[in-house]
Structure 1
């Protein structure tokens, strides 16, 4: 048992010694919208996309020369303007509306980054594949936090998960400083808003986040 423990400690120490951690700051202007899972009769659609901002800390943990486990902590805005219109068949008045939704999340990305060898002096390209676990911290609808005496934030789900796919390049500035720039697609995986299920009386209706971000940052 002691020999096995020593062997495991030796392997962990060796892995840690070979690994390299790079920590940096990131700014991400984000174009956000929504997509829907709903029957056509509800006419639920995105009215327009919205520009938001993401800021935070990123960390790349290199477990091999060209492979890194990437994570961090990001504060990001999402949401867009959407509308719906439904002519009921039961004789009740039609249901319609337009909402400008703005959400803020704390995100923990969990992804794998695959780097090329140098494509130019001091420059490497990368692709990024993974997901993100997100927690809602604030919400408004039509720039209001309270509507009809109820807090708007309560209608939105607290947690969100999304898949992400990105690509970009890193530029070596010095011995330990790098600039990076990339483009990342974020695809929401779960329903974020139960309001439309209630107002349309259909539990199968889902509203999900969709966004594309330009990522700029520096790593040390």
Structure 2
């Protein structure tokens, strides 16, 4: 009986050590995007930023105490809000992407609380695109149209951010970060030379949980 108890204690100690030094971490993340367009030599009507939600999973491979490779797979809302008809109407253009950033993470600090800096790139696949028109004279009626064909199926650019990690347990951490995406490719389909183009850009705040494997 004593031998069995000692073996159990050894196994628990072993898994505790492994959890403290987890190379791989994974967990869910939710966030809020403040999104609009970036205009490059374009004459489009500029609008206001939109608040859109995001959710997905985060995966991380820790090379050392200070460096890691981080990736995410998230469903993100992007788009823009435009006032039309002399301010009496509102046009929202909503783009929904499946986005995968790939970033290096540099951590600083010791103990249960660490800060970090992310930098890298992202790629996204357009899942849907809609226009919603609201006019105060139509008693709240919305005209919703699918306009996915007006946009390119893919989006890509630079991604980065700063944040903090708080260790609750050896294999359980909470993360908070503030980041952004800077689109480097046009989102418009069928562009003609000389009219310019638009790219996505956003600021985002996220909160997540990481489990050590």
TM-score of Structure 1 vs Structure 2, range by shorter chain: 0.7 to 0.9
Paired residue total: 178
Local SS of the residue matching 2:47: strand
**Structure 1, unaligned runs of 5 or more:** 1-17, 85-97
Q: 2:99 aligns with which of 72, 97, 107?
A: 107
Q: Does 1:131 align with 2:126?
A: no
Equivalent residues in 2 for 1:90-169, closer than 5 Å? 99-118=91-110, 121-142=111-132, 146=145, 151-169=146-164
CA contact (8 A) 1:35 1:45 kept: no
| Structure-1 separation of matches of 2:27 and 2:126 | 23
Greater RCO, 1 or 2 (C-alpha within 8 Å, sep 6+): 2
**Structure 2, unaligned runs of 5 or more:** 1-20, 85-89, 134-142
Q: Does 1:205 align with 2:196?
A: yes
Local SS of the residue matching 1:36: strand
The equivalent of 1:61 in structure 2 is 61
Q: Does 1:191 align with 2:186?
A: yes
Please report how far the alpha carbon of residue 204 of structure 1 lies from its aligned counterpart in structure 2 after TM superposition: 4.2
Local SS of the residue matching 2:149: helix
The equivalent of 2:17 in structure 1 is none
| Structure-1 separation of matches of 2:82 and 2:160 | 25
Scaled by the length of structure 1, what TM-score is found? 0.74
Q: Does 1:171 align with 2:161?
A: no
| Structure-1 separation of matches of 2:182 and 2:91 | 21
- 4+ runs of 1 displaced by more than 4 Å? none
Cα 1:61–1:110, aligned 2, differ >3 Å: closer, same or farther? same
The equivalent of 1:51 in structure 2 is 51
| Structure-2 separation of matches of 1:38 and 1:82 | 19
Local SS of the residue matching 1:193: coil
CA contact (8 A) 1:169 1:181 kept: yes
| Structure-2 separation of matches of 1:19 and 1:47 | 45
Local SS of the residue matching 1:154: helix
